[in-house]
A and B are shown apart, each in its own frame.
Chain A
């Protein structure tokens, strides 16, 4: 074994390797079986040494390693012993009965319990009540990517990530990449008219397309000009016009059914005119996935730049209480407040609030709050006369009853709570009098609700369901004590406008210690906390000491739209 490679291996394990050497090591691992084996042996050795060292070190009183988890019991269980877990411990922890919506701070080994328990609750709820039916979405494909697409007036329009139901898709220009649930992918160039029939079949009335069919999707059918093209694997191109229709196998094999060539098999390079005839080159230059990605990348970058320009102007707005353009920063746990109020109001990530791609793809970033402990903490002191909250968020699922966007810690007088209920309704509220315990029926639920304090939750109609998972939304809430109304927006459109009646009127607003993406109650007296982390990503948040107008909200949305909106 080359000693220099071995030294690189240990440098990699010790995390002291340079970027160039890491590249060299990766090449060597890919090219040489021997290096690969050596690398694995070395990792294994060092892990065994760590385990042995940890066992011998076990008498040490306090854990030495920094950990994101705060529970000492947790660390003792997972790190200070040699990380072994017995079946009985698993069984005990997994089946331990716990209250819904509450998680013990003494979470067991890396929190797995939470996930499993949650699933149990879902399964359990369905089994017990039989009324909460499993959620279903109708559709056969998803719009994976698109560039410059303009949907025809008569047609429904879709965004990237949308589930496509059976029916017509029609666009006048642009390119769409459509993934059928069977695994086949179509790259369609507009103008095009398609009829999605099932997970396995589509009719093409017009348009140019490239169909890629992996082994799992063999048998995928494309109907055009009275013929059915059955893909027996890999790739073919199709051009359907008013007068003619042309198919060519790029790679692999297709079978034709119906029409003039019924029963014909075409293989790589073979082509047929299904209708009419014309220039054999009609299929040249058809977009590939690579082309689409490049064009998309360029268009996305343009949107990103537009937003940055606007964001620079926005930060001079003296109505801003705080502004966190998370999308533009890329590293670190500090979430800078770029409004004039300055670094006093910077946020700080806690727990596993991971940086992930923001709404402009990999050039931008956002924070993901998918663990119960993930949060961005801020402290915003002062008194305010109105609130406008505006953020861009991508929701993966609404897995808790309430899912936090921005929450004042203690929910004390004048403090805001901005969240999304599990049925997709937006909720905005401000505490009016936290000394009262109130029992009331909400007009939406018809359920008596016991509230710790006098407040009113301003709810919208649902705007989200699981079919919107992974899409970005611009969400805004305006709380206007002077104008006596609460207005909420999604993607620049007004979703609800509600009056603030006398009983719920608060003039003086505060924020204080608060969290983005979660609800913190660091002053609570028990280790239990309500789980309200947002299973999703936030990549921009602006808070104004003013009631922005509908036009202003619309403009925030327009200037910040990512590609495909």
Chain B
């Protein structure tokens, strides 16, 4: 009886340790996983759901997660989680196949493979976006940010400011294209500069 109790204590203590490890890892990679999931879905819709399901599944399978060495755990975890996220994104879209604008499986697979390669670039990408925004004139910067504010859309802002949506779209797209090129150049520069 005593030995049983001890075993139980040990198990629950193990579980607690696993828990804090899991929590630390998932909190650290939350943003990467979210971004990865977003890349595989056609819009923001469903991202929360898929990330949630991914996190749950990761916890369920956490005892299977076996990094080669403890030092590798951090890097391996996000890759491992993204493999799970890919399945979750696939099944999420499969369930919604009747809706418009759902990626077919081949596209999701292709995107997942490519997004997996750039997982570690997210931090520098974000920095690059910030730097590129700084180089823009204030009004342009505000304009491009405004359409990406929570709850806003180009159509809505066009209506509010009395502009033709078409015209606004093309202005925003010019800015986004500039930013896109700027970011890629910065990242390429970073890569060559080490």
On A, residues with C-beta under 8 Å from B are 6-7, 10, 12-17, 19, 22, 26, 29-30, 33, 36-54, 56-57, 63-66, 78-80, 83-87, 89-91, 94-95, 110-112, 115-116, 119, 123-124, 127-128, 130, 330-331, 352, 354-357, 362, 365
Q: Closest CB of chain B to A47's CB: distance in Å?
A: 6
B95 touches A90 (CB 8 A): no
Q: Closest CB of chain A to B59's CB: distance in Å?
A: 6
Q: Tally B residues with Cβ within 8 Å of A.
A: 68
**Is B60 part of the binding interface, using a Cβ–Cβ cutoff of 8 Å?**
yes
Which residues of B lie under 8 Å from residue A14 when comparing CB positions? 153-154, 169
Which residues of B lie under 8 Å from residue A51 when comparing CB positions? 126
Closest to B98 in A: A330
A44 touches B111 (CB 8 A): no
Residues 4 to 40 of chain B near chain A (Cβ within 8 Å) = 4, 8, 11-12, 15, 19-20, 23-24, 26-28, 30-31, 34-35, 38-39
Q: In whole angstroms, what is the CA distance A39 to B19 when docked?
A: 36
Closest to A87 in B: B27
On B, residues with C-beta under 8 Å from A are 4, 8, 11-12, 15, 19-20, 23-24, 26-28, 30-31, 34-35, 38-39, 42-43, 48-49, 51-52, 55-56, 59-60, 95, 97-98, 100-101, 103-104, 106-107, 110-111, 114-115, 118, 122, 125-126, 129-130, 133, 144-146, 148-155, 169, 172-173, 176-177, 179-180, 183-184
Complex partner residue of B145 from A15, A52, A64, A85, CB under 8 angstroms: A52
A86 touches B97 (CB 8 A): no
Q: In whole angstroms, what is the CA distance A53 to B157 when docked?
A: 15
A65 touches B151 (CB 8 A): yes
Q: In whole angstroms, what is the CA distance A362 to B94 when docked?
A: 10
Which residues of B lie under 8 Å from residue A89 when comparing CB positions? 27
B103 touches A45 (CB 8 A): no
5 pairs of residues in contact across A and B, judged by CB atoms under 8 Å: A16-B169, A26-B103, A45-B129, A54-B150, A90-B26
Which residues of B lie under 8 Å from residue A52 when comparing CB positions? 129-130, 133, 145, 148
A17-B101, A48-B126 given; A110·B52 CB < 8 A = yes
Which residues of A lie under 8 Å from residue B20 when comparing CB positions? 91
Complex partner residue of B49 from A7, A56, A352, CB under 8 angstroms: A352
Q: In whole angstroms, what is the CA distance A116 to B15 when docked?
A: 12
Which residues of A lie under 8 Å from residue B184 when comparing CB positions? 41
Q: In whole angstroms, what is the CA distance A74 to B78 when docked?
A: 25
Which residues of A lie under 8 Å from residue B172 when comparing CB positions? 10
A46 touches B148 (CB 8 A): yes
Q: In whole angstroms, what is the CA distance A456 to B4 when docked?
A: 41
Complex partner residue of A119 from B38, B59, B150, B169, CB under 8 angstroms: B59
Q: Closest CB of chain B to A356's CB: distance in Å?
A: 6
Which residues of B lie under 8 Å from residue A48 when comparing CB positions? 125-126, 129-130
Which residues of B lie under 8 Å from residue A365 when comparing CB positions? 98
Q: Closest CB of chain A to B131's CB: distance in Å?
A: 11
